[in-house]
């Protein structure tokens, strides 16, 4: 066990007993929405995972310690501190630990810490990818590199629609990461159920997904698997409305010179403002939906 890692006793016991565990990120708490909605949403996601037969493990860095599983009090702490907490990607982990600071884990660092703890399934909202204009800016999310190297399955609502979806799929293909569509042949685009792009494989049951991931790991193949789960139809946004909001936000970010890890938080906040909060409501519901599916996949993975 990594000496910088603390595994919550409930999580450690479940892993040791071969019971299903689902990792959750903490950036959605600190940078995803205001307090107290952020803490309440995080606790609701954990309860959904429990209700579907698995143990939740929210991942974070607190006081320089890597945490696999937070207490309700720690989630409340993260919610209150909010954006004052550093957003931590792979390059930040050692520095934050050395300084004894807090860090909110992205998809990348959640995968890393989950892997250290022995957790194989992770539920999030959407993953990062190749940003629009990356052919000149080289703005490519570290999430894609982590998916290529770390054996953790990520269940999401597709790639964030602020990205270049076509280039993101090309990048994943180059790195050997299978993109699975849960009940769909097209790539979900976060706020909407469909996009013009196709996934690699359609799978219709958690058991089928779990079996493929189990075999991948038994073969010793490196990297993870991306499972894309469309947002429930009743919460899906009008593509014309959300795409215009995204285009307007992207242009505003360009004019203001916003780039790097500040890009996604800025764009999501502006899209929320432009849509009158509808995008935030959709975001919460798709996270709930992904948590349900991830718990069912984790359960099938352990039972297999």
Tokens of 267: 């764009």
Cα separation, 31 vs 42, in Å, equals 12
**For the packed helices 72-81 and 37-51, what is the interaxial angle rounded to 10 degrees?**
150
Active-site residue (options: 25, 46, 76, 146): 25
25 classed as catalytic: yes
- Cα-based torsion angle of the residue sequence 281, 286, 288, 289 in order, rounded to the nearest 10 degrees: 140
Tokens of 179: 């993109």
Does the fold of domain 125-304 match that of domain 1-119? Answer: yes
Domain 1-119 has CATH 3.40.1350.10: no
Report pLDDT digits (tens) over 29-41: 998 888 999 999 9
Report pLDDT digits (tens) over 119-138: 999 999 999 888 766 666 67
Residue extents of the structural domains in the chain: 1-119, 125-304
Terminal C-alpha separation, the chain: 25
pLDDT on residue 32: 82
- Cα-based torsion angle of the residue sequence 134, 142, 179, 238 in order, rounded to the nearest 10 degrees: -60
Instruction: State whether the Cα torsion 145-287-25-224 is positive or negative.
Output: negative
Cα separation, 257 vs 242, in Å, equals 22
What's this model's pTM, rounded to 2 decimal places?
0.92
Active-site residue (options: 87, 160, 272, 299): 160
Question: Residue 251 burial by CB count (10 A; 0-12/13-18/19+): exposed, middle or buried?
Answer: exposed
Tokens of 198: 């196709």
- According to DSSP, residue 4 is labeled T
Q: Class for domain 125-304, per CATH?
A: alpha beta
pLDDT surpassing 80 at residue 262: no
Alpha helices, DSSP H, located in the chain: 9-16, 27-30, 37-51, 72-81, 93-99, 107-117, 134-137, 142-149, 165-174, 206-218, 239-256, 263-274, 278-303
160 classed as catalytic: yes
Share of the chain above pLDDT 70, in %: 95
């Amino acid at each position: 066990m990594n000496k910088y890692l603390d595994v919550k006793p409930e999580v450690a016991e479940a892993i040791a007993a071969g019971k299903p565990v689902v990792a959750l990120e903490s950036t959605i708490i600190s940078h995803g929405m205001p307090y107290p909605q952020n803490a309440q949403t995080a606790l609701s996601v954990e309860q959904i995972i429990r209700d579907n037969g698995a143990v939740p493990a929210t991942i974070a860095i607190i006081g320089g310690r890597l945490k696999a599983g937070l207490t309700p009090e720690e989630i409340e702490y993260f919610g209150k501190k909010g954006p004052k907490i550093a957003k931590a990607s792979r390059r930040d982990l050692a520095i934050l630990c050395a300084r004894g600071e807090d860090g909110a884990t992205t998809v990348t660092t959640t995968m890393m810490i989950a892997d250290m703890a022995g957790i194989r399934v992770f539920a999030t909202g959407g993953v990062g990818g190749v940003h629009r204009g990356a052919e000149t800016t080289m703005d490519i999310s570290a999430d894609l590199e982590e998916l290529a190297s770390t054996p953790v399955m990520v269940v999401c609502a597709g790639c964030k629609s602020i990205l270049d979806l076509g280039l993101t799929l090309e990048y994943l293909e180059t790195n050997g990461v299978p993109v699975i569509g849960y009940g769909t042949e097209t790539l979900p685009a976060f706020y909407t159920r469909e996009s013009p792009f196709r996934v690699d494989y359609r799978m219709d049951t958690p058991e089928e997904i779990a079996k493929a991931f189990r075999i991948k790991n038994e073969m010793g193949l490196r990297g993870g698997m991306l499972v894309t789960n469309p947002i429930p139809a009743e919460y899906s946004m009008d593509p014309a409305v959300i795409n215009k909001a995204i285009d307007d936000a992207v242009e505003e970010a360009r004019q203001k010179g916003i780039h790097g890890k500040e890009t996604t938080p800025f764009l999501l906040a502006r899209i929320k403002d432009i849509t009158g909060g509808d995008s935030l409501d959709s975001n919460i519901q798709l996270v709930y939906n992904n948590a349900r599916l991830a718990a069912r996949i984790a359960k099938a993975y352990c039972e297999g």
